[in-house]
Structure 1
């Protein structure tokens, strides 16, 4: 049974009830493209029923973080942002008290890229609660200060802790270096060169694009980003950066690792992946020239639909 037949079997079985779309590419060719319908929710809006097609943008939630990592690599090659080894807090001189804090002096940009800041940060509670650190950041009057002033609970670089605040800081560094908002810079250096014209970026109440979870793309656009990673940047993102970004750096669990804002599997079937709340997935399997883009509506729930589809594609 081929890939398309396996995916079709999942759709007919009802084991992916929250699926909104799936695009599968092998060797640069689209072999599966499916769109459904269901309840969806833009991150700042109320849920509504949507009938999806190839032109419908979808929240990709935390896949946004992985896109920000791609943008950081472009900005770095253009000399607009500090290197991963550079001090982090020092990039925000408007907070002299934090810059002068010896307990934060060892923080680097790489600690943000790998989510190993060692700060008190909790995203284990639902994203509807202000006990969730990312939501609290979005409600704060100054998102960057909110992140940087979190209590230090362990030395940076010692343990991976999921942190949307790290991605917000990276987005802020890109905006400062580029001298323009993140959506405009992304359109110019990444989306337009890839032929992506309909990207949307939800902003926080402060008018700043949400670098942790605000991006909206068509599933075909997600797949195009996967092709870029598969193709070592396609001349848009530096080859060296793509390889550094997807190199396993921090242990999460078993063969599951984290690179620069991308997940990496180091098992018998190596892959890299971007993951977003609700079942948003972008999977790249280099050895098989495989890219899978999935969107779904299971926000703050178990991502059964995305899992079922990916299991079918990977035949596992």
Structure 2
């Protein structure tokens, strides 16, 4: 009866909780439901669209809400979220592309990290001839340490001075990226750069002969049994590699499960284990204090004993966290696109520290 009361409370808050049938941790899931209800009553989880948890390779908790949402380039209005409703990943797309690059690399279809970047784009020979650009490698693209002038953090998206906005408006997005002025030594400093992901997407498409979404579908999504997906494209028809993917929340959880299994799914290697290790090995520290590998963030959650995590982070409150010590994958989707980054992070911290971690020890 107590659990039914908690479930009723959640429904009264305009949300629903789905507890999978084959759930080995019913007590933990019930505790999470209660904690989440209290958090929402306290107004500490605004804009929450979905919260999903997987432990031991099994989905153990799902919460779906209802609220206003928007896609990359369009308003979606009021949406009732559920297992069959796609959600924007925004920049979590970058981490998906990072995995796809590793698959293509194992197939010998894209250049290795030590390859020179501009050698892969002979159509821009004029840029390659400019001093200093010969130092930039694929490693710098993967780790966002290109040393190029790129700002999409301090200038709001939609402002033409924002680098990603300007890239989308450019007649040739790849020339726009590659011609950015050099402002630092490659490898010395992390600079958040959606253009880096766009370059990876282009290299995947050139090397495989498939558009990025089609390649991801064939080598990653279908092998994991994904449902429908979508990928926003620009006016030039190019997939927005850095932030355009839309997946079912349950399918994003599968990406976390895949990473916990070192790239294997049902006993078959999907992403090479050495690439999983490489993308989640720190290369550089970000301006936020987190570490960055190859398109994946990582760090430690402050607790009695710090918990190491790695994952993807997207604007508006999109998160994929993988916590190996607890065999836990966490997906958070929110619609907080108009909140500040600090406010979005506060919601995430509240969910992790007051709901997820206390419930799933």
Same fold (TM over 0.5): yes
Q: 1:161 aligned to 2:199?
A: no
1:306 aligned residue: 348
> Is 2:303 the partner of 1:260?
no
For 2:135, what is the secondary structure of its paired residue? coil
Kindly indicate whether the alpha-carbon contact (under 8 Å) linking 1:111 and 1:157 is maintained by their aligned counterparts in 2: yes
Counterpart for residue 91 of structure 2: 62
Quote how far apart the aligned CAs of 1:254 are: 7.8
SS of 2:320 mapped into structure 1: strand
Identify the range of structure 1 (299-308 vs 228-237) with the bigger mean alpha-carbon deviation: 299-308
Counterpart of 1:239 in structure 2 is: 273
Is 1:295–1:306's contact at 8 Å kept on the other side of the alignment? no
Aligned to 1:288: 326
Q: For structure 1, which runs of at least 5 residues remain unmatched after alignment?
A: none
Of the three residues 25, 32, 48, the one matched with 2:77 is 48
TM-score, normalising length: structure 1:
0.96
Alignment partner, residue 184 of structure 1:
214
Which residue matches 1:7? Answer: 36
Shift of 1:145: 0.7
Aligned position for 1:123? 152
DSSP-derived class of the 1:65 partner: helix
2:106 corresponding residue in structure 1: 77
Matched, 1:107 2:136: yes
Describe the SS at the equivalent of 2:188: coil
| Superposition deviation, residue 46 in structure 1 | 2.5
Whether the 8 Å CA contact 2:227–2:248 is kept in 1: the answer is no
Task: Give 1 or 2 for the bigger CA radius of gyration.
Answer: 2
In 1, the alpha carbon distance for the partners of 2:193 and 2:291 equals 15
CA deviation after TM superposition for structure 1 residue 91, in Å: 0.5
Give the TM-score, by structure 2 length: 0.85
Q: Secondary structure at the match of 1:193?
A: coil
Gaps of 5+ in 2: 1-27
Does 2:164 match 1:134? yes
Q: Counterpart of 1:218?
A: 248
Q: Using CA pairs below 8 Å that are at least 6 residues apart, which structure has the higher relative contact order?
A: 1
Q: How does 1:33-44 map to 2 (within 5 A)?
A: 33-44=62-73
Find 1:22's aligned residue among 39, 51, 54: 51
